[in-house]
Amino acid sequence: MRYILASGSPRRRELFSKVVPEYEVIPAVGEEVTVKQLPAEIVEELSYQKASEIFYKNLTDSGDGLVVIGSDTVVSYNHRVLGKPADRAQAADMVRMLQGQTHSVFTGVTVFYRIGGEDKSFTFSERTDVHVAPMTEDEITAYVSTGEPDDKAGAYGIQGQFAIYISGINGDYYNVMGLPVARLYKEMRDHDLL
């Protein structure tokens, strides 16, 4: 099998290596556009777009045995979807909104594959609820100034400096990092892709 992860995220690369030790990284470059409103549907649609883009760009080289995994993560709080912040001011606003509250992280995963000359795919999403401790304005400013929130949905990384403010989670920890590895492993195993 030729495995391709359609993501440039260092966190996803680290996590995917737990499922498949040897794979290629070819990040999707297409514009992320969604017409969906619900967080689970948004991440499923975006993960589908990423996986299908890379699958069909590499299909002629690989033929049978090509497996492409696309993933997308968003943070949702109070019926509002939070992607990556545009700048540090927006990052501070996001952290300010999440502090002292519980929000949800949704990650969508799509797997495209070709077996026996037939193109197939499946898509799923996972939800994890994250509880953030109350933070002072100085703590918010100090955290945002680290630069850690710059490229992360909801302006934080659970595995980084923000960990000191996470008071609990309900669901898959790795889902919050950007890839629900246990579910992905099970789905790939069930589809005979491992």
Type of residue numbered 99: Q
72 among known catalytic residues: yes
> Are the beta carbons of 46 and 123 closer than 8 angstroms?
no
Q: At 147, is the secondary structure helix, strand, or coil? A: coil
Neighbours of 16 (CB within 10 A): 22
**Spatial distance between the Cα atoms of 132 and 18, rounded to a whole number of angstroms:** 27
Contacts of 190 (CB under 8 A, 6+ apart): none
The catalytic residue among 64, 72, 93, 172 is 72
CA distances from 80 to 15, 60, 76, 77, 92 (A): 27, 40, 5, 5, 16
Residues annotated as catalytic (active site), given as ranges: 72
